[in-house]
């Protein structure tokens, strides 16, 4: 089932998603949106990995890498959200710039 779509369309879409995620990560200060932006970034990377693996269908290197990225991301989200809850309990806020316990 070849779909006849040029591969670079996937790559461009992945770049657009990566840009959206990166800008969101830079601009937002709500820590929940920072985590959501990290999710967007990793999804963009996954898409380009799978797209480039389509060039070499003899092996599954890109698929395996994507698999590990998904596993690492699940771990990251679990720990990140735990830190969010901990931060909220300590400071009653979810803003990233209120978390300055390590300053000075």
Distance of closest approach, residue 38 Cβ to another protein, in angstroms? 10
Is residue 91 near another protein by the rule CB under 8 A? Answer: no
Report the C-alpha gap between 29 and 100 in whole angstroms: 13
Q: 58-87: which residues touch another protein (CB under 8 A)? A: 59-60, 63-64, 66-68, 70-79, 81-86
DSSP result, 2-64: -----HHHHHHHHHHHHHHHHHHHHH--BHHHHHHHHHHHHHHHHHHHHHHHTT-TT--HHHH
The binding track of 38-57 with respect to another protein, each residue x by CB under 8 A or -, is -xx--x--xx--xx-xxxxx
100 binds another protein (CB under 8 A): no
**How many residues form the binding site for another protein (CB under 8 A)?**
77
CB 56: neighbour CB atoms within 10 A? 10
Q: Is 95 in the site for another protein (CB under 8 A)?
A: yes
């Amino acid at each position: 089932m070849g779909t006849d779509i040029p591969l670079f369309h996937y790559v461009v879409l992945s770049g657009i998603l990566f840009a959206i995620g990166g800008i969101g990560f830079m601009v937002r200060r709500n820590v929940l949106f920072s985590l959501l932006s990290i999710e967007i970034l990793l999804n963009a990377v996954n898409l380009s990995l799978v797209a480039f693996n389509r060039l070499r269908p003899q092996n599954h290197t890109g698929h395996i890498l994507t698999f590990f990225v998904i596993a690492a991301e699940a771990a990251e989200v679990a720990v990140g959200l735990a830190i969010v809850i901990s931060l909220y309990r300590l400071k009653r806020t979810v803003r990233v710039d209120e978390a300055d316990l390590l300053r000075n």
